[in-house]
Amino acid sequence: MIKSIKNFAELKFQEILQEAFRQGNEREIRKLQLSGASRSEIEELKRMAEHEYRQDDESIRTLVTRNLKAKANRLRLPLPNEEGDWEVGYEFEDRLLSNQGITKLRSAIRREISERLNFLGLPLKIASSMAP
């Protein structure tokens, strides 16, 4: 449970940082535009900002992939293996879950947890139905 909270906090922290960088970059681009900077200077700043966005997105996707893989391993679930379930990371070229893969794995995890809870609840239902 503590590990899940830590992972969630780490993910939220990355998302907050990403948004702060986006806002900062947008302000810098507007400043350059208002100051009459050349088009090439503005384009260079935009390219640098795009590179940062991709790095941030990859960091978040790496956290999500790592967390979902750990949950799937604990539940002994197979990882998605169809075409389109995985992508290669931008900077480090890691194997990361795509949006499609994330959706599939989250659904499988929820379904497995639900089935396990239903199975555990069955003896309680039987016992409570037998009580006077």
Judged against a pLDDT cut of 70, whether residue 109 lies above it is answered with yes
Q: Please state the rounded mean pLDDT for residues 12-36.
A: 83
Q: What is the rounded CA–CA span in Å between residue 41 and residue 59? A: 27
Judged against a pLDDT cut of 70, whether residue 18 lies above it is answered with yes
Q: For the segment 44-85, what is each residue's pLDDT rounded down to a tens digit?
A: 888 888 888 888 888 888 889 999 999 999 999 999 998 899
Q: What is the pTM of this model?
A: 0.68
What domain count does the chain have? Answer: 1
Cα–Cα distances (Å) from 52 to 20, 24, 30, 42, 80, in that order, read 12, 12, 18, 15, 29
Q: Report pLDDT for 3.
A: 66
Write down how long the chain is.
132
Q: Report pLDDT for 75.
A: 94
| Higher-scoring residue by pLDDT: 67, 124 | 67
What is the span of the domain harbouring residue 73? 2-130
